[in-house]
Amino acid sequence: MKERFYVKEGLFKSLSFASALIIVLICIAMFVVLFVFSYPAIKQFGVVHFILSDAWNPVRKVFGGAGAIYGTIVTTVLSLIFAVPVSLGIAVFITQICPHSLKRYFSNAIELLASIPSIIYGMWGLFTLAPLMRNYIEPFLQKIFLPIPVVRCLFEGTPLGIDLLTSGLVLSIMIIPFISSIARDTFELVPKELKESAYAMGATKWEMIKDVIFPYSKIGVLSGIIIATGRALGETMAVAFVLGNDHNIHLSLLKSSTTISVTLANEFTEADFSLYLSSLFYLAFILFIMSFTALGLAKFLLKRMKR
3-state SS of 85-120 is HHHHHHHHHHHHHCCHHHHHHHHHHHHHHHCCCHHH
Q: Rounded CA gap, 228 and 91, in Å? A: 15
3-state SS, residue 191: coil
Structural contact between residues 282 and 36, judged by C-beta atoms closer than 8 angstroms? no
**Domain range annotation of the chain:** 2-306
**Size of the chain in residues:** 307
pLDDT for res 142: 92
Q: Rounded CA gap, 167 and 160, in Å? A: 12
**What does pLDDT average to in each consecutive run of 10 residues of the chain (307 residues)?**
70 87 92 93 90 88 91 93 93 88 85 85 92 93 90 89 93 91 88 85 86 86 85 86 88 91 87 89 92 80 69
pLDDT for res 1: 59
CA atoms within 13 A on the CB side of 200: 6
pLDDT for res 305: 64
| Cβ neighbours of residue 222 closer than 8 Å, sequence gap 6 or more | 298, 301, 302, 305
Long-range contacts of 106-115 (CB under 8 A, 24+ apart): 107/181, 107/184, 110/176, 110/177, 110/180, 110/181, 111/177, 111/181, 112/177, 113/173, 113/174, 113/176, 113/177, 114/177, 114/178, 114/181
Structural contact between residues 290 and 234, judged by C-beta atoms closer than 8 angstroms? no
Q: Rounded CA gap, 232 and 189, in Å? A: 27
Structural contact between residues 242 and 129, judged by C-beta atoms closer than 8 angstroms? yes
Q: What pTM was computed for the model?
A: 0.88
Neighbours of 220 (CB within 10 A): 18
Structural contact between residues 51 and 70, judged by C-beta atoms closer than 8 angstroms? no
Structural contact between residues 280 and 263, judged by C-beta atoms closer than 8 angstroms? yes
Range 11-25 burial, b when 16+ CB lie within 10 A, else e: eeeeeeeeeeeeeee
Q: Which amino acid is at 144?
A: I
- 211 burial level (CB within 10 Å; 0-12, 13-18, 19+): middle
pLDDT for res 287: 92
- Domain 2-306 classification at class level: mainly alpha
Structural contact between residues 179 and 152, judged by C-beta atoms closer than 8 angstroms? no
Q: Rounded CA gap, 197 and 208, in Å? A: 9
